[in-house]
Every structure is written in structure tokens, then in C-alpha cells.
Amino acid sequence: MKTVWSVWFVGLLGLAWCAGVQAQRVVDARPDQCREPSHGFFCSAASPEDINDLKDYITHRWRRVKATIDEDRRRMRLYLDPNARTAYDNEFNPSVSIPQYKQCADCEEFDNRITEIIDNGCHAWKDGSIHCYVEIRSESVPVRPANAAKKQFVSPVSYEEVIDPAGKPAIAIFSDGTQILDDNQPSMADCLRAAADGDGCSR
């Protein structure tokens, strides 16, 4: 019986690991011709370190849980460059909106789960800076109420790699054009596969 339970438990761990891998799939969406000498840049994949930073950013950016909202916003703002941080503060006015959210009795609370990362490549410019373009898809995980409808997010993120982070995040995000998707909109990966098969894409 112990052997059966051990096999069953190991099997569950394997399924959970596979599900985790699929839930955060990274799709290489770089074009075949990833070099334009006239502009003086090359195109490479986003580094694993960049991807980890982006996961952390999106998780804190879109989590809405009253108990963690202050820490989530603090962590999220670390990844923004000064201009993006100012734009965020001007648009959402967190000093007012966060206390209002905490006091809201009917507001939903939800965590965030990343489902797909579309890597559009990093470009090294003549001045030595490296700019990257990644699209991250995620969905809400209802906390309160537990049966709330899930929200689907798509976040086209542009960022620059920080050469000497000095203890700070190694990326500086200067653009995040997140949108909430409807249930019928296909993922970018689905569109890429459709395009490879010669079919059109509605995105």
C-alpha cells in the first residue's frame, strides 16, 4: 500500500510540474530576419533573468488582495523607470485609490496567474542600450468572492536592461499597455500558429 501511495503521490507531483510549465509557457515570436544593419541593432531572446523579473512585475501589478496591496504596489513600482512611475502615479493616484480599495466592502479580491509569455526579442542599439519587447498573458484567480468571473489580461511590455542594477531589478519598464481581453479573443501564440499555417489572425 505504501508503494501504491508513493507512486500516486509522485505522479501527482509530475502532473503539477507539467501544469506549471504549461501555465508559464514562453513563446519565441522573434522574426526570422532579426537583424537590420541600417539601424545598427541585433535581435536576441529575452534572458531568463529578464523573464523572471517580468513575471514578478506582472504578478504584483495585477494582484488585487487587500492584505498585500501595499507591498504589491511597492514591488511593482521598483520595475518602472522614472517616467513610467510618474505616469502610473498620475493615472491611478495610489495614495488615494489604495485606501479607497481597502475600505471597499464590495470590491473583488483576486490573485494573478501568468499563462503565456510572448518574447518579441531584444535589440541592442548603437548607444549600447538594450531594449526588449515582451507580451505577457495572465488571468485573475478569484479570492473573494471565490466564484467571481476570471479576468484575462494581455500586457505588451517594453523595457530596457539595466547594465549595473546595483541591487535593483535588472530591467526598467518604460511601457505597459495592459488590456483586459474578452473570452473570445485568441492568444498571441494561437495567432502565431495560425499565421504559420497560412491562416489569418484577428488580433
Per-residue confidence in pLDDT tens, the chain, 203 aa? 434 334 333 343 443 333 343 446 777 776 665 655 554 455 778 888 899 999 999 999 999 999 999 999 999 999 999 999 999 999 888 899 999 999 998 899 999 999 999 998 888 777 778 889 999 999 999 999 999 999 899 999 999 988 665 566 789 999 888 887 765 555 555 555 555 555 544 44
Q: Out of 3.60.15.10, 3.40.50.300, 3.10.450.230, 3.30.479.30, which CATH number does the structure's domain 39-196 have?
A: 3.10.450.230
Q: Give the global pTM.
A: 0.72
What integer pLDDT is reported at residue 14 of this predicted model?
A: 43
From the number of C-beta atoms within 10 Å of its C-beta (0-12, 13-18, 19+), residue 42 rates as middle
Domain ranges of the chain: 39-196
pLDDT at 45: 80
Tell me the HSE value of 75 on the side-chain side, using a 13 A CA sphere: 16
CB-side neighbour CA atoms (13 Å) of 136: 29
pLDDT of residue 162: 80
Q: Give residue 83's pLDDT.
A: 94
